[in-house]
Amino acid sequence: MKIRIIGCGNLDRGDDGAGILVARRLRALGIPAMEQNGDGLALMDCWRGCEEVILVDACVSGKMPGEIQVWDAVANPLPQGFLLCSTHAFGIREAVEMARAMDLLPPKLSIYTIEGGAFVPNSPLSAEVAQAVESVTQQIAELARAIAR
């Protein structure tokens, strides 16, 4: 099974770096993961030909900072009020919904989100989000190892 793990975000915007940090921690564990800035068209290219895709990004949904949510983006559209923290006008949500309309979604697409609280330029990751990064890293590492067996 061809799986692709993509961490999205921007390390220069505090909690927005969560997805990138998950990708880096996964690579440190020997699990292939790529980094992407959240540009929707580039994401659609990244998952082309993959059987399973896992995206990780920071979000703003009104939950407590550090709260983790997992979405099955093939089974259900992402909620309208749900904001993935892309600085792009055509970001993850738009890419997923366009790919759905064009029948270009991978067979399995999971989106792990970490609720962010601080997105100030040049600020560090908040403690709650840093803890969630570790948790998501472990969850995805276990899943990737199980798939590899």
Tell me the residue type at 119. Answer: F
What total of structural domains would you count in the chain?
1
Question: How much is the pTM?
Answer: 0.92
State residue 94's pLDDT score.
83
State residue 8's pLDDT score.
93
Query: Looking at the chain, how many residues does it have?
Result: 149
State residue 60's pLDDT score.
87
State residue 33's pLDDT score.
97
Which string of DSSP letters, residue by residue, matches 99-118? HHHTT---SEEEEEEEE---
Q: Which residues sit opposite 4 in a β-bridge?
A: 53
23: nearest Cα among 44, 6, 42: 6
Non-local (6+) Cβ contacts of 122 within 8 A are 12
21: nearest Cα among 117, 147, 112: 112
Q: How much is the CA Rg of the chain, to the nearest whole Å?
A: 14
Q: For 12, which DSSP code?
A: T
The whole domain housing 40 covers 3-148
Q: For 14, which DSSP code?
A: G
What CATH number did the domain enclosing 14 receive?
3.40.50.1450
Which string of DSSP letters, residue by residue, matches 47-70? HTT-SEEEEEEEEESSS-TT-EEE
State residue 87's pLDDT score.
52
Q: What is the mean pLDDT of each run of 10 residues along the chain (149 residues)?
A: 89 94 98 90 88 93 94 87 57 86 94 93 95 98 89
